[in-house]
Amino acid sequence: MKGESAKPAASVTISDIARLAGVSRSTVSRAFSRPEMINAATVARVKAAADHLGYVVNHAARALSTGKFGNIAVIVPDIANPFFPPLVRQVQSLADLAGYAVFLGDSDEIADREASLLSRLSVQVDGFVLAAPRLAEGQIRELDKLRPIVLVNRDLDGLARVLIDPSGGLDEAVSHLHSLGHRKVVYLAGPRHSWSDQQRRKALAHAAEQRGVEMVTHEVGRPSRTSGRDAVGAVLESGATAVIAFDDIVAQGVLAGLAVRNVEVPGTMSVIGCDDTLAAGTNPPLTTISAASGAAGAAAVEPLLEMIDTGADKPDRIIIATHLVVRETTGAAAGRSIGR
Amino acid sequence: MKGESAKPAASVTISDIARLAGVSRSTVSRAFSRPEMINAATVARVKAAADHLGYVVNHAARALSTGKFGNIAVIVPDIANPFFPPLVRQVQSLADLAGYAVFLGDSDEIADREASLLSRLSVQVDGFVLAAPRLAEGQIRELDKLRPIVLVNRDLDGLARVLIDPSGGLDEAVSHLHSLGHRKVVYLAGPRHSWSDQQRRKALAHAAEQRGVEMVTHEVGRPSRTSGRDAVGAVLESGATAVIAFDDIVAQGVLAGLAVRNVEVPGTMSVIGCDDTLAAGTNPPLTTISAASGAAGAAAVEPLLEMIDTGADKPDRIIIATHLVVRETTGAAAGRSIGR
DNA sequence: TTGAAAGCGCTAACAT
DNA sequence: ATGTTAGCGCTTTCAA
């Protein structure tokens, strides 16, 4: 099968089409943007001429007169963090469907780089998806005056934002553990300043109280496999029979640390991660809380395009629910018999 | 510390600066693009006015008169494939340094989507990085006439391309295995049409012959954890004592399958992956061939920007070497004693 | 060294 | 329903 598909066209302009079709440039322009204003036959002729020539609209030029660029940007702190690619992928995919192209900005976790990306991009995009922005609140609000933005996992009053709510999944996790006989579990907490971590602490505290399990939290600092592994000592000493980690990477570290010490999972210790970024790629396959970062991306792009296209109001908060994904790192509490 | 940093500016134009600085628009324009043509004092005054106002050049407008957009695009088949994020990250980072913004296109592995992304973007970028393009050769060559492009892991004569050469790493792998006493190893091959797989088969055949080890290859089809796990039966039956997998994901599947059957790694079976996409995130940590996808990204951007900025000639082929990263899945061949 | 004017490709009043 | 004109923000001859 050869290429019926769109061929990367040379610089064909509206004028070229106009000449070929024997109409004025405005007619050509309208044939694309508001065909219903134009005689159907003319439209047909124009379109024919256009794809005969291999015309591709020059968005940059169009932007100059309309102020609309047909581009959006998605900014992430670190595209190499497995949480973000699914998000970016969804954003790009949906944007593409709607005819938008997408800029990617990677701030490398540093606020100033984020700021400069934003300012550089603000002149060629119609809107932003800001995923877990590191920027100061003031600067974000500043940008918001300029262009529609939707935040992901950052909760700023009055701005459009999609928030992944861990409480559903975490509650299921605690309840799951409880039903397996666990009565003391440790939470390996992430960075205090992180919105996600705060949410998780809160949700966990609440769930633990509800279910009657004792929850002790231990901070690992910057989440990483290493910090997870290093926390194993503390976990073991705590006397807990299960651990819930800030994210899957940390959980993976815990798994590794446990393996080294020959403590069996889930035989002796149960472990649960967060974010479901590793799929079944751990050994044993990790029970985790779905993060749905892809869903968050989709949920962000949709209202963004609405705001851009129709000037729709910002939605308030869009909440993405989570749930527990049970795989193989959770089992009956060690040293207990559970009735069946 | 408050925000000295670039603030996302409103739509300040050159005219605004001209007015404030009491000069003409052309002077302002020149003060940026060719300061040496202009009185130093004037330049200073203009720049002062500019960042007082928070000016940000409008690349779209500039593009209209210069034909240069200040943007590049990087196209990948699947951003969620862990091979690509480091590549994209490097591209974005280096481009940013050079003042370029970057579009991301995800073709979802389908050639036609790739084509439409390319045509959509060709009107607002100065060049392309095409990572592992799925597109037909003809269409790529077509695009190449239009805009500078550099290919990654696709070997088209006469085009700029950076190729990751697996032979170094693979040779080390075979030699490593040989020295551990292995004499028969199976290669779990990926898709036949994949350039990478072809390279790997060739390199492996050569290395095996050199070192005197018997190499049998078994195709797993679409590389995935599942296909890796499913291949374990064949591996075990082959009588080989080691396996080299097409990529880390497949290797991870093998590890999982082996664990299920209680065959010890590396005690009974050694396994080696390719690409180093999982870091130490397997259990046990996987011995693998470095992929350096980040390096490939960097190696691609640099000549691309050269070609764009200075009209430099396309470099021929840029080869990225690989090497073996020994972790914990390789050990002495089962059932043999090796002299020390 | 600086300014005036034209034009990049497109759209949007304003005619007709 | 279609054409004319002006102008988006910038760079770039061409003059001064």
Kindly tell me if the per-residue pLDDT of A136 is higher than 50: yes
Per-residue DSSP letter, A35: G
Nucleotides of C under 7 A from a protein CB: 1-5, 7-13
pLDDT tens string A262-294: 999 999 999 999 999 988 888 889 999 998 899
- Give CA angle at B173 (B171, B176), nearest 5°: 110
Report the Cα B247 to chain-centroid distance in Å: 15
Which residue in A62, A96, A147, A276 has the most chain B C-beta atoms within 10 A of its own C-beta, making it the best mutation to test that interface? A96
Q: Give the per-residue pLDDT at B194.
A: 83
Rounded to 10 degrees, the C-alpha dihedral A88/A91/A92/A98 comes to 180
Measure CA to C1' and name the residue nearest D5. Answer: A26
Kindly tell me if the per-residue pLDDT of A336 is higher than 70: no
Does any CB of chain B come closer than 8 Å to the CB of residue A59? yes
Which residue in A123, A137, A250 has the most chain B C-beta atoms within 10 A of its own C-beta, making it the best mutation to test that interface? A123
Is the CB of B143 less than 8 angstroms away from the CB of A92?
A: no
Among positive and negative, which fits the CA dihedral B138, B143, B144, B149? negative
* Count of Cβ atoms closer than 10 Å to residue A50 Cβ: 22
Verify if strand C has an atom below 7 Å from the CB of A65. yes
Within 87-116 of B, beta carbons closer than 8 Å to A belong to: 88-89, 92-93, 96, 101-106, 108, 111-113, 115-116
Verify if strand C has an atom below 7 Å from the CB of A10. no
pLDDT tens string A174-201: 999 999 999 999 999 998 888 889 999 9
Measure CA to C1' and name the residue nearest D10. Answer: B62
pLDDT tier, A10 (very low <50, low <70, confident <90, very high otherwise): low
Q: Give the per-residue pLDDT at A6.
A: 34
Contacts of A71 in chain B (CB under 8 A): 103, 124
Does any CB of chain A come closer than 8 Å to the CB of residue B148? no
Both tokens of A67, joined, read 């102020």
Radius of gyration of chain B (CA): 26
pTM above 0.85, yes or no: yes
Quick check: bond before B266 cis, omega within 30? yes
Mean pLDDT, residues A147-158: 95
Give phi and psi for B16, each to the nearest 5.
-60, -45
Nearest CA in chain A to B71: A103
Q: How far is B287 from chain A (nearest CA, A)?
A: 16
Verify if strand C has an atom below 7 Å from the CB of B262. no
Contacts of B56 in chain A (CB under 8 A): 119-120, 122-123
Nucleic strand D contacts from chain A, 52-91, CB < 7 Å: 64-65
Q: Give the per-residue pLDDT at B6.
A: 35
Does any CB of chain A come closer than 8 Å to the CB of residue B140? no
Give the separation between CA A199 and CA B183, rounded to whole angstroms: 54
Residue A140's nearest CA partner among A158, A165, A166, A163 is A158
Q: Give the per-residue pLDDT at B279.
A: 82
Contacts of B142 in chain A (CB under 8 A): 7-8
Residue A150's nearest CA partner among A168, A131, A135, A166 is A131
Instruction: Measure the N-to-C terminal CA separation of chain A; round to a whole number of Å.
Output: 61
Within 232-271 of A, beta carbons closer than 8 Å to B belong to: 249, 252, 255-256, 259
For residue A156, give Cα distances in angstroms to A105, A126, A153.
21, 21, 10
Give the separation between CA B218 and CA B222, rounded to whole angstroms: 12
Q: How many CB pairs under 8 A join A and B?
A: 191
Nearest CA in chain A to B79: A85
Q: Give the per-residue pLDDT at B10.
A: 55
Mean pLDDT, residues A104-130: 95
Q: Which residues pair with A101 in a beta bridge?
A: A71
Residue B256's nearest CA partner among B280, B237, B284 is B284
pLDDT tens string A164-175: 999 999 999 999
pLDDT tens by residue, chain B, 340 residues: 333 333 334 589 999 999 999 999 999 999 999 999 999 999 999 999 999 999 999 999 999 999 899 999 999 999 998 999 999 999 999 999 999 999 999 999 999 999 999 999 998 999 999 999 999 999 999 999 999 999 999 999 999 999 999 999 999 999 999 999 999 999 999 988 888 899 999 999 999 999 999 999 999 988 989 999 999 999 999 999 999 999 999 999 999 999 999 999 999 999 999 999 988 888 889 999 998 899 999 999 999 999 999 888 899 899 999 999 999 999 998 754 333 3
Q: Give the per-residue pLDDT at B335.
A: 56
Contacts of B108 in chain A (CB under 8 A): 93
Do β-strands B324-325 and B287-290 pair in parallel, antiparallel, or remain unpaired?
Answer: antiparallel
Measured in angstroms, what separates residue A121's CA from nucleotide C7's C1'?
Answer: 26
Residue B4's nearest CA partner among A154, A143, A111 is A111
**Total residues belonging to chain B:** 340
Does any CB of chain A come closer than 8 Å to the CB of residue B64? yes
- Asked if B270 and B338 count as a contact pair (C-beta separation under 8 A), the reply is no
- Asked if A91 and A129 count as a contact pair (C-beta separation under 8 A), the reply is yes
Measured in angstroms, what separates residue B31's CA from nucleotide D15's C1'?
Answer: 20
Is the CB of A6 less than 8 angstroms away from the CB of B119?
A: yes
User: How many Cα atoms occupy the beta-carbon half-sphere of B41 within 13 Å?
Assistant: 1
Q: Give the per-residue pLDDT at A335.
A: 56
Q: Give the per-residue pLDDT at B236.
A: 96
Contacts of B230 in chain A (CB under 8 A): none
Measured in angstroms, what separates residue A45's CA from nucleotide D2's C1'?
Answer: 14
Is the CB of B3 less than 8 angstroms away from the CB of A118?
A: no
Does any CB of chain B come closer than 8 Å to the CB of residue A125? no
Is the CB of A60 less than 8 angstroms away from the CB of B117?
A: no
> Angle at which helices A167-179 and A195-211 pack, to 10 degrees?
40
Nucleotides of D under 7 A from a protein CB: 1-5, 7-13
Kindly tell me if the per-residue pLDDT of A252 is higher than 80: yes
